[in-house]
Structures are given as C-alpha cells and as structure tokens.
Structure 1
Amino acid sequence: MTPDELYALLPTVLRRRDAEEGGPLRALLTVVAEQVAVLQEDIDRLYDNWFIETCDDWVVPYIGDLVGYEILPGIAAALSDDSSRGTGLPAAAVPRRDVADTVLNRRRKGTLPLLEDLAAAVAGWPARVVEHRRLLCVTQPVRRSAPETGAVRRGPARGGLVDVRSPAALDRLGGPFDEFARTVEVPRADSARRPGRYGIRSVGLHLWRLRPYSVTRAPAYCLDRDRACYTFNVLAIDTPLFTAPVPEPSSCHVADETNVPEPIGRRALAERLYDYYGPGKSLCVWTGDTVVSPRRIVAADLSGWRYRPGAGEVAVDPVLGRLMLPPGTAPADGVRVTYHHAFSGDLGGGEYPRPEPAPAGSVERYRVGPDGDDHHSIADALDHWQAAKRGHPHKAEAIVEITSNDVWADPGTIRLDPGDRLTLRAADGVRPVVRLRGRPGDDRPPALTITGPEDGQPSGATARVVLDGLLVTGGGVRVRGGVDRLVVRHCTFVPGWELRDQGRPVAPGAPSLDIAGSPVRAEIRHSVVGAVAVAGREGREPHRIEVYDSVLDANLREATAVGSPDGGTADVVLTARRTTVIGSVRARVVDVLENCLLDGEVRIDRCDQGSVRFCWLPPGSVTPPRFHCEPDHSGDPERVVPRFADTRYGSPDYVRLADTCAPEIRRGGDNGSEPGALHHLFQPQREDNLRTRLAEYTPAGCDAGLYFAT
C-alpha cells in the first residue's frame, strides 16, 4: 500500500487541515506505509509457509512436528539461535524432503530401497544398501542340487571359495559391491566399539560423501609429445576418475555402480565401457574436434608409462587419470577430455553454479573465448576496455568474462586507474585456467600483477577488482598500488604455484597472494589459496584480510600461511571464519577467528583486541582471549589433534577431516559442525540424523550399520 493510498483513506476534513499545516500527517503516513508494506509482505508469505514445498527453511521443523517428525535435541538447540539460519543449518539438519515423505516412509518401513532414499533425503548422500545375510557362507542343501529330472541344478554359490581368475570381482573386494561369501562376525553392526559387518541380522548402508564434479572438453596436459602421454588434469597431476551417477529407474531399485559416484576401476571400464564412455557420460576423449570412438578405447595400467597402445588405440587409465596414444601420433590440435573428479564441496571454483552478484547499473561486458566471442585473449579484452574508458568515465566499470575451459596465457600487468571497477570472472558452468609464465629478462617469479593508482591520487580515487571462478597456476597474484578492495570468489591459486608428480608443490610456502602498497581490503570467499604475504609501511593504515569458507595452504605446518614477505608479522587486521589454515599465522591484530582449523603456530601481536572462538589451534599460541577452543577446552592436547584424510592439493580428500579425528574437533564448531573450510557441509548433523532415521525405519531384529565408501 502506497502513502497516497493510505492518505486517501483519511476523512476529507483531516486532509484539508493537514494541507493547511504543511502536510505533517502526510509525512507521518509515508513512514507508516513502509511498515505496512513489510507487514503485507509477511502476510503474503504466511500462505506460502503453510506448505512444505514452499515454506522457509525455519518453518520446516514446525511442519515436521505436526506429522511427528522428531529432530535431534542438539540440532533443535542450534536452530533456536537465529544466527544459525544464515549458515544453512536448517536445510541441512531438517531436510524438507524427509519431512514431506514422513508418512509415506512409515508405510514403506522394512524395505531395502527405503534406506537408500533416507540417505538421499536426510543426508544428501548417495547410498547402496546391502543385506549382509545373503553374503554369509552356508552349507548347500543336497535336495536343491538333485532335482527329480536327474539333471544337476546349481544352488546359490554362497559357500564357494574366492575365484582368483575373476579380477573384476577382486577389484570390488571389501567394497559396497563385494559379492564374495564371508563367515559370520559376532559383534553387532551398530556396535560402538567393534562393529561387525557380516551377520544374520546385519544390513549395511554404504555412503558416498564426496561429490562428483565435471570438467567438460578441457585440454589434456601433454607430458611427452613424442610418446603421446597425457594426463586428464590440466595441472599435470594424477587424478582418479569418478562415475557421473545416473538416476535410478524406480524407487524400488537398489543402486549399482552407475548410480553412485564411485571411482572407476580399470576392469570396470573394460567390462562396461559403454556405461562410462561417451559424450554426456563419465568420460570422453576428443582428438582435435573428433570424438574418439569407443572401439578405440582400451583400459590399461599406465603407471610408469610402460604400456604401449596398438595402432589406432587410445589407452585410458581411470585410476590415475592418464591416457596414452601410440608413439608419434599426438594430434597437432591437442587432446581434449571430459571427466569427473571428486571433492567434498563447492570450493575453489569449477563448473558448479556460482551466483553472480548483481552489478550496479549498466556494466560493460567483454567476453573471452575461442570461437564466436568478442576477444580471443584476456589481454586483448583488457586493452579494449582501457581504450573504451578513455574520455568515458561511465565505462570505468567492466566485466571480463571467460567462456570456455581452456588454458589462458598470462594477461600481463592489469593496470587500474582511479575509480576503476574490474571483474575478471569465469562464465557460469566453466573453469578456465590461467597459466603464468616468467617474462624474458625478468628475474621476479611469475605473477598475475594488479597495479592500482599511484600514491598522491585524490581521496576516494581508488580501484577495486574482483577475481571470480579462476584457477591460477605457475605463480601467484601480486597486488600493488591503490587497490582499495580485492575480492577473490570461488578461485584456486594453486598452493606452491605449480605441482609436480604425485601433486608435490614446486615452491612450498611461496606466497600465492602478495599484497603491498596502499591499504587494501582483501576478501577471500570459497577459495583455495596458498600463502598470503602482506607488506605494510610505517605510518599507514594496516591492510584488512577477510577469509570466509576457504583454505589457506602454505603446504607445510612450519611455513608461513599469513605473514610478511620475510616470514615475520604482517601489518594486517585479520578476520577468518570457517577457514582451514595449513601453516603459521603471524598478524598484528585480529578482529575475529571463528570456526577455524589453524594447523600451525599462531602469533598475534596485539592480544587486547579481537577474539578467537570455536577454533583449533596449537598449544602455546599467542592470541586474544579464546572461547571454547581446542585443545584448551578439552584439556587433552595429546589426543585432540586434527587428522586430515589428505593435505595434498588435488586429492579428492583434500583438507577433509579423517573419520578417526577426535570428536571434539569433528563437532567443535559453534553449531556442532566441524570447524574449517568444510563447516558448511554439516557432516556430523547429517550423520546423526541419518542414524536416527535408520533406527526408526529399520525392522525389529535387524542391525543397520553405516559404512563410508568415500
């Protein structure tokens, strides 16, 4: 309702009197109209909140209560805090799909496919249910092998020995698709001390926590052109290839290897090539613009590059993420590949959706791509922008957007004028790679240099730059001059600059982000960045570094993750929330460190300012006052130490906490989730909710156990 509509509701005598007095009543109704609009919007929203499909996340627990949906007490306490709504906890802890299907699931109680549906609805994890009773060794009844016809009828092979001539079956040994018979295990499947998997009453739910991420028609990296050796990963590292899951045909179907993000084995690729290979499937290979026929694909072991493909063959090793052509047949146009790798969550850039912030007003957009776009290089697009804004101040804001999964050359130094606003981003659905190379005659290490206005410019005439969705390798990012604000969103600055064999960094501890010059406010979100070096000057305002949901990886605990270029204390005001730091932190001041894993020495000069909350940091660290931090809170520094599944960048388990990590850390966040860059996944809440639902829907007399395949 507008102010005029409210004003028209008043009697004419009051409106006439108000006009004589100069309109104070009209001014008052203008303020009232704003609150009326808020109230009207809330009333309209109340209708949507009546239905589970359209209600807000915070309403889901209340609708669930109406149908008897019970949530865990710890989650209920966390949801009572309004601050938890902004973290996504309601959607993760109380899934609306599970609430909507509560009545239907109660009717399906006792069926195996229901357990898989529960895992998808409650935890968001693909699953396969296995009835372990059917895998137990039994003595075959004689009558089942001697029918009246006299012909030999084979009974179920549940007591036979392992067939060592079946390598494909041996590859599945111990996994969710294991078909070999086992002897009974006495412990219960849900035992806390020593769970037993194979029993008469045992049902296992195998879960995949890692998510598959696609890389579409990207160039493969050529290691040896003469021998035609390639890696799928453009960073020249071994990357295991994963299945792109296909939907199950019905709700009564039990998942197989094509329905879950399972690593692809060599035997599986050889036996079921057409399930995995081809456009739109788990992997595909192009030589030039031609798709390699499945008849030419050969699954092979390419470790050591000892295999020799035959004429016309293309050898693929899905375990290592390698491919090989016959020697001397490397195509001039290169090899392109589509594949899927695995990771824990949306972090560091990729083809996953990245909501683009709405630009203010009209913004010049320069598209960079191989064909059909305005420009064929980043440097060319930047040159056109520099030329267009001369004499046209309204063109000082621009977006340079890369539209393909190619490897792009070093754009050189990006020079910004006073008032410039530049966004260098990847288009939604692509992951471009910017490879930095040293310049002839330049002794400095390779870097993407961003230079702002020189000192002495008018006040407020500073520049701002946004890097969004890029993977930078071969060097770091260097910021100089009057860059008022630097935003890094969903990017990866490869820790250690570049990777060698087995993912070892070329320059461990080298800064991936080097800041010097006038004060800069750097904001890092959902990114993987190496060490951050900040050089301040006496008498100047300190830099501000803000890190959210990201990884700062100096490659070694002894290296400096945040500090000055010489490894000393950086003149910065540091803010970090939900961040994993590998390496030491040396800063002048902190605003707040919250829900962080600080795997390295932490030394803050000024301890009278700021706070540290719900973090893990090494004993002996010098910080402002700490609240509920480990191992101080538990008092057990020997046991409560972080254990990562892997700290090597490029691994599927990168910076994921191991299952053997102390529960004080795995549940040490402010809302019961783990601290660090994967805090937003709420893995403990998902697991707890799933265990509760399994206990509710598993028939009496059965023991249901959880087994994490990845």
Structure 2
Amino acid sequence: MSPDELYALLPAVHRRRDAEQGGPLRALLTVVADSAAAVRQDIERLYDNWFVETCEDWVVPYIGDLVGYEVLPWIATALSEDTVRAGGLPAAAVPRRDVADTVDHRRRKGTLALLEDLASGVAGWPARVVEYRHLLCLTQPVRRFTSDGATARRRTAHGGLVDVRGASALDRLGGPFDGAARTVEVARPDSPRRAGRYGVQSVGVYVWRLRAYSVTRAPAYCLDRDRACYAFNVLAVDTPLYTAPVPEPSRCHVADETNVPEPISRRALSERLYDLYGPGRSLCVWTGPDSVADVVPLARVVAADLTDWSYRPAPGQVAVDPVLGRLVLGPGTGPASEVRVSYHHAFSGDLGGGEYPRPAPEQPDRGALYRVGPGERHRSVADALDHWQAAKRGGPAGAEAVVEIISNEVYEEPAEIRLDPGDRLTLRAAQGVRPVLRLPRGRHGDRPQGLVINGTGSGRPGEAPTVCVLDGLLVAGGGIRVRGEVGRLVLRHCTLVPGWVLQAQGRPLAPGAPSLDIAGSPVSVEVRSSILGAVSVDPAGEANVLDVCDSVVDATDLEATALGAPDGGSAGVVLTARRSTVLGQVRVRGVELLENCLLAGEVRVDRRDRGSLRFCWLPEGSATPTRFHCEPDHSGSRAADLRFSATRYGAPAYVRLSDRCAAEIRRGGANGSEPGALHQLFQPQREDNLRIRLAEYTPAGCDTGLHFVT
C-alpha cells in the first residue's frame, strides 16, 4: 500500500490539521508504508517457501527433510550455521529437482533409467548406465538355436568375439558405449584397491562432467586460401567438436551417444551424419556472403582425417575432421573467403567469453545505446565510439554510453578508447553471442598494437572518475593497456587470450606477454568470471587495486610472471583474489585477501604485515602474510602436489584439477569444494551426494560403480 493510500484512510479532520502543520503525519506514514511493504513482501516470500518449486535455495533441504530426503551431515551443519555464507552450496548439494522427485524415485528403485535420472538430478551431469552382465563372455548352447534368424543373430552377438573389421566398435572400446565381450572380473566396482567392472551383478554409471558450449554461425579461420583449408575455431587452433546433447524421448530411455556431450569421432560423423550435421544440430557449415550464405547440403559433407591436410575432397564436397576441428572445401564449393560454421566445444563451466547466458549487470543501462552488427546503424565498434565522442562535444561532463555487439563477428579494431573525466562506457556482447576483437598489428606487423584505454583527466582532487566495462568479449592478438586517469576497469565474462595469439597445438605466440598492462594510472580493476593472460602493473606506489574473482590468470608458463611489474619486480598493486586460479608467479606490493585460490607459481608479497591467505594452495618457499588452512602447509603431506588435467588454454579440461590430485587439494576449499576458478561448480559435493543416492536406490546385491568419462 502506498503512502497516499494510507493517508487517504485517515479522517478528513486529521488530514486537514496535518496540512496546516506542514505534513508531519504524511511524512510519518511514508516511513510506515516502507515498513509495511517489507513485511508484506516477507509474508509473500514465506508463502512461496512452502512449495519446492518456488522456495528459496536455503529452504530446499528443510522441505527435503519432510519427505525423508537425507542431507549430507556436513552440508546440514554448514546450512544451519550460516546460510548466507554457504553461497551456492545448497543448490549444488541439495538439488531442488532431486528433492521434488524423492517419492517418485522410491517407486522406480532399481531401474536403469532411474540411475541416469539421479545423476542428472543430483549432480547435474548427463549419464549412461551399463549392465555389465550383458557384456560377459559365454558359450552359446546349441539347443537354444532356432529357425528364427533374428533371434539366432541376437544370441550369437551376445558375448561374441571382437570383429577387427568393425572400426566403429573398436573406437568404442573401454568407453560407456563399448559392446565388446569381456571375461568376468572378481573385484567389485566400488573396491578401494582395484575397481572391477565386468561382473554378473555389476552396474556402471558413466557421467560427463564437461559441458558442450555452442558457437553459432561464426567465421571460420582461413589457414590456406589457395587450398581452402579452414579451422572451426576463429583462434586458428585445433578444437575437438562435441555432440550437442538432445533430450531423451522418455523417462525409461537409456542414454545413447546423442544424449551426452561426447566428442565426435571421424567414424561417428560418417555413420551418423544425419544426426550430427545441420542447422540446430552439433555442427553446420555455410558458404557464400553472410547475407545470402547457403548451408552446405548433407550429401556433400564427408568425414576425413585432415591431420596433415593431404586429403582432397571431390569437387563440390566439404571434408570435415571433427577430431581436430578442421575443414577443407572441394573445388567449386563456394568462395574461399566466406565460410561460416556452427559447432560445439567442451569446457567445465561458464567462464570467459561465450554464448552462455550471462547474469544481468550490477547497474542498469544508462546513457545512449549503440548497437553494432549486421543490419544496425554501426557496422564497427570504432564507428560507434566515434559517434559517442561526437555526441559528447558541447555537452555536460560525464557522458555514459553502452556499445553492444549483436553478432559473432570478428572486429579488427578499435586501437584506442578515449575516456574523459566522469565518462562511463560499457562495451559488451549481446546475450547469446560471442564477438571477437582481434587487435591489429603494428606498422611493421611484428607486434600487436594493443587496445589502449586512455583516461584524459588531470587527476586533480574532486574530478569525477571514469569507468570502463568490458563484458562477454573475446580479445585476441594483443593485450589491453590502461593509460592516464582511469578510475575503474571491469572485466566480466571476458577472455583475453593468454599469450596473445595461439599457434599450432595451442602454443602461445608470446608466452608471458601481458594481457593487461597498467601504467601511470591509479586504477581499480575488477575481474569477474574471466580468463586472461599475465597482468603487468607499474611498480610505483600502491594506489592500484586488483580484485580477481572466479577467474583464471594464465602466464602460459609456471616460471613466468603472472602478476608483477614490467621489470620483473613487484607490481604496485594491492591484490584481492577469491576462487581463482593463477598459472605463474605472483609478485605484488601487498594483498588484502587471497581465499580459495590455486597459486601454481611462487608467491612473493613485499608487505607481509597486512592481509591474509585462506584455503589456498601455493608452492613451498613463498613469502606471504599470515596463512590459514593452506596447502601443503596445513596437511604437511608431500603428496599434496598440484595437478591439473590441462593447463593450456583451449583444452576442454583447462585448469580443472586432475582426478589423481590429492584429496587435501580437491576438497581444500572453505566449504569442502575445490579451490580455484571452478570452485563454484561444487564437484566434490556433487560426487558425494551422487554416490550416496546411487547406494540408496540400487537393489540389494547389485554393485554400482561411478565412472567419469570427461
């Protein structure tokens, strides 16, 4: 109820007396109305919290307790102590969907489809369940052969020898879709010494932890124009293509290769081309100008091995290598300069530039909106910035603008962003797209120019600070240089390619080169959910502030400096890092807080009388302020060595901890999750919860093993 509505309920005599005295009663009712609105909103929220579909995340465990849903003990303790501090833990460890389906799961206990649903509902991982008894070798009894040819073929195929001429079957050996017969293993799937798989009562649950991320109608990178050789990835690196999972047709369906994010093999592309190729499917190729581009017909696409580019397709054909993410156009297919592709690649989570949904910005849009892309007024970012600069002339100080890129294009500009005192500029990608800013080369072509963010202020006291926000972009070919008076720089869901440019096999062109170079500017830098290379900061003073959260800082070499000064000394910056991974050495003047971080290189902090480190991993011999529960100091175990599945940018398992990494590290976060940039995935909690649910819903006498495919 608004203040005016409350005021209208008062008798007329009181309203008249209040008007005569200057309206103190109306002012009081304004405060009362605000409190009443807060109470009403709380009452409505309490009603929503009665239902599992609409309740808040922290309420889900308590609703689960009403239906007998058992919460892991240490998770229940964390929630009871402080639900706010738990962060995203309730949604990951106590999924809403799993609580809602608890009663239904009990009715379906023992079915294969239920075990797959558990993996999806409890952990959010696609899964396939395999009954190993169907894969055991056996001797076919002669008396069971019948005149029914189909029945005879089915029985002879069960437990038969491997056909070495069946290439597709050989590709699936050892995986979740393996159909080859095996001898019985005595060890159980959950054995702590040696896990066995193939038993009469053994069931395997294969889960996929990597996710398939789409790139839609983006330019392919031309590697050789004369031979029409292309890379799917616009960064010109080999990228394995993955299947875009499709929903299973029914609850009783057991997942197949189209329902999981499986890497596409050459044989699979050849045999299941109709399922994988085409608009809206796992991959697609267009040729011709973008406005009138034609989809390459299904009949003209062939799978090929393009490892050495020796394969030449027939005229009119397009050869695709899904293992390497390469393609070659046959003679007469289309203009070699106009090729666009859609494909899916794999990664662990929403990090860096991508087409995944990004959260809304902290502040709503203000100022003019300049849209860049096909069909819009501005065809380039530089053109939009020029119009903004022209609109500022003669106007008041402190202009605001949003430049939004609406398509997956490659923009080889701008070279400089000029910010006057009080300006606020947001350069972002629209939702669902991932544009690329490829920084142009210098005059001699030997060194990238870089993107310069130049503040023109004088630095006098009282001067309005400038703000620049980069959101959802992929920047390649160079780094970002901050010069002049820039008050605040924000990087949200961006990728500044480590090493500037990637060469063959993903090797960086300039190892250790800074993706972010700050000099002569006391700037506050905020990095959120981003991937960037080394950061170089002027060593003078401590006015610079760097706040890194849920991000990766990759110097491309553990011996290189990931954060430091250009001369190799300490950067003049006060560092705060939470839930981040740093590949390389850190040399800073001071730190405020390092929490839940993986610091793979030596850490040197000049001022060790302030700040602290909590729940981090850092090499022995590092010089830091006070540490609390950091490895390997806390456990004192030499086995607590840091191991990653991959440390090269572009790999599907980039910066993910290896499964062979010590438990002290994999569960070394403040809430039992892994430290580093993938902390928010809560994978240890998901795994624990899934193992408990599998044991709960597996029939007595059946042994269930959990296997991670990726």
Indicate the residue corresponding to 2:221 in structure 1. Answer: 221
Match of residue 128 from structure 1: 128
What displacement does 1:10 show?
7.3
The separation in 2 between residues aligned to 1:23 and 1:402, in whole angstroms, is 51
Quote how far apart the aligned CAs of 1:395 are: 7.8
Aligned residue in 1 for 2:623: 622
Cα shift at 1:78: 2.2
SS in 2 for 1:483: coil
Q: Match for residue 237 of structure 1?
A: 237
Q: Is the 8 A contact 1:536 1:542 kept in 2?
A: no
Q: Does 1:512 align with 2:512?
A: no
Deviation per CA, 1:491-520, whole angstroms, max 9, x where unpaired? 000000110000000111110000112210
Q: Does 1:157 align with 2:153?
A: no
How does 1:259-298 map onto structure 2 within 5 Å? 259-288=259-288, 289-298=293-302
Rate the CA distance shift 1:444–1:517 in 2: closer, same or farther, 3 A: farther
Number of the residue aligned with 1:108: 108
**Larger mean Cα displacement after TM superposition, 345-354 or 85-94:** 85-94
Distance 1:274 1:588, change over 3 A: same
Superposed, 1:117-516 pairs within 5 Å as 117-145=117-145, 155-288=155-288, 289-326=293-330, 331-357=335-361, 359-360=363-364, 362-369=366-373, 371-393=374-396, 396-440=399-443, 445-457=448-460, 459-516=462-519
- Is structure 2 residue 551 aligned with structure 1 residue 550? yes
Q: Contact 1:144–1:154 (CA<8 Å) still a contact in 2?
A: no
Residue 87 of structure 1: aligned partner:
87
1:706 aligns with 2:709: no
1:627-677 residue CA offsets vs partner (Å, 9 max, x unmatched): 1111111011x2101110000100000001111111111111111110000
User: Does the 8 Å contact 1:388/1:395 carry over to 2?
Assistant: no
Task: Kindly provide the amino acid, as one letter, of the partner of residue 304 in structure 2.
Answer: A
Task: Report SS of the residue matched to 1:393.
Answer: coil
Contact 1:596–1:675 (CA<8 Å) still a contact in 2? yes
Greater CA drift, 249-258 or 388-397: 388-397
- CA distance in structure 1 between the partners assigned to 2:273 and 2:553 by the alignment: 39
Aligned equivalents of 1:428, 1:13: Cα separation in 2: 56
- 1:577 corresponds to: 578
Deviation at 1:333? 3.9
1:221 partner letter: Y
Partners of 1:451 and 1:88 lie apart in 2 by 38
CA distance in 2, matches of 1:592, 1:565: 23
The two structures have a TM-score, normalised by structure 2, of 0.95
1:47-86 residue CA offsets vs partner (Å, 9 max, x unmatched): 1111111111111011100000001012112223436567
* CA distance 1:26–1:520, change in 2 (3 Å): same
Q: Which residue of 1 aligns with 2:671?
A: 671
For residues 584-637 of structure 1, what are the alpha-carbon distances to aligned partners after superposition, in whole Å with 9 as ceiling and x for unaligned? Answer: 11111111000000000011111111111011111111111111111111011x
Q: Which amino acid in 1 is paired with 2:585?
A: S
Is contact 1:228–1:328 with CA below 8 Å preserved after alignment? no
Question: 1:586 maps to what in 2?
Answer: 587
> Displacement, 1:227?
1.3
SS in 2 for 1:98: helix
The TM-score normalised by the length of structure 1 is 0.95
Matched to 2:399, the amino acid is: A
Cα deviation per residue 1:669-700 (whole Å; 9 max; x = unaligned)?
11111000000100011111100100110000
| 2:642 alignment partner, SS class | coil
Q: Kindly provide the amino acid, as one letter, of the partner of residue 641 in structure 1.
A: D
Compared CA separation, residues 434 and 165, structure 1 to 2 (3 A): same
How far does residue 157 in structure 1 lie from its aligned partner after superposition?
2.1
Deviation, structure 1 residue 208: 0.6
Q: Is contact 1:231-1:322 (8 Å) kept?
A: yes
Q: Return the alpha-carbon distance in structure 2 between the equivalents of residues 578 and 84 of structure 1.
A: 17
What amino acid is aligned across from residue 513 of structure 1 in structure 2? L
TM superposition shift of 1:6: 5.4
Contact map agreement 2:398 2:421 (CA 8 A) in 1: no
Letter of the 1:572 counterpart: V
**Secondary structure, in 3 states, of the residue corresponding to 1:139?**
coil
Q: Distance in 1 between matches of 2:581 and 2:318?
A: 40
Query: How far did 1:88 drift?
Result: 1.3
* CA 1:439–1:153: 2 relative to 1, 3 Å: closer
CA gap 1:66/1:331 in 2 versus in 1, 3 angstroms: same
- SS of residue paired to 2:182: coil
Partner of 1:686 in structure 2?
A: 686
2:634 is the counterpart of 1:633: yes
Indicate if the aligned counterparts of 1:116 and 1:127 stay in contact, CA closer than 8 A: yes
Separation of aligned partners in 2, 1:62 and 1:305: 59
Distance 1:305 1:23 in 2: 83
SS of the equivalent of 1:275 reads helix
Percent pairwise identity: 72
Residue type at the aligned position of 1:278: G
Q: Secondary structure at the match of 1:155?
A: helix
On the 8 A contact 1:226/1:330 being kept in 2, the answer is no
Partners in 2 of 1:331 and 1:147 — Cα distance? Answer: 58
C-alpha separation in 2, matches of 1:152 and 1:639: 54
Question: In the superposition, relative to structure 1, how do residues 330 and 10 fare at CA in structure 2: closer, same or farther (>3 Å)?
Answer: closer
For residues 314 and 179 of structure 1, the distance between their equivalents in structure 2, rounded to whole angstroms, comes to: 32
Alpha carbons 1:284, 1:338 under 8 Å: kept: yes
* 1:148–1:497 CA distance, 2 compared to 1 (3 A): closer
Q: What one-letter code is carried by the residue in structure 2 that aligns with 1:478? A: R
- Per-residue deviation, 1:33: 3.7
The separation in 2 between residues aligned to 1:117 and 1:525, in whole angstroms, is: 33
Contact 1:225 1:330 in 2 (8 A): no
SS at match of 1:223: strand
Whole-Å Cα distance in 2 between the matches of residues 15 and 166 of structure 1?
Answer: 91
**Number of residues of Structure 1 aligned to a counterpart in Structure 2:** 705
Q: Please list the CA deviations of residues 172-205 of structure 1 after superposition, one character each: whole Å capped at 9, or x if unmatched.
A: 1100000000011111111122111111111011
Which amino acid letter does the alignment assign opposite residue 157 of structure 2? A
Letter of the structure 1 residue corresponding to residue 318 of structure 2 = V
Cα deviation, 1:502-540, whole Å, max 9, x if unaligned, reads 0000111110000112210000000000000011435xx
Taking the aligned partners of 1:566 and 1:153, their CA distance within structure 2 comes to 73
- Relative to structure 2, which stretch is displaced further, 437-446 or 342-351? 437-446
Closer, same or farther in 2 for the Cα pair 1:86/1:376, shift >3 Å?
Answer: farther
* Partner Cα separation in structure 2 for residue 322 and residue 344 of structure 1: 23
Distance 1:5-1:375 versus aligned 2 partners, 3 A rule: closer
Tell me the alpha carbon deviations over residues 427-460 of structure 1, each in whole angstroms, 9 at most, x when there is no partner. 1111111111223169864211110024355623
Asked if structure 2 preserves the Cα contact closer than 8 Å seen for 1:110 and 1:699, the reply is yes
Shift of 1:310: 1.5
Aligned-partner residue type, residue 532 of structure 1? V
Return the offset for 1:159.
Answer: 3.2
Cα deviation code 1:317-368 (max 9, x no counterpart): 0011111123686624421100000000000011111133265574211111
Change (3 A) 1:331 1:457: farther
Q: Secondary structure at the match of 2:648?
A: coil
Alignment partner, residue 41 of structure 1:
41
Cα RMSD after superposing both structures: 2.2
Q: Which amino acid aligns with 1:632?
A: D
Structure 2 residue ranges without an equivalent (≥5): none
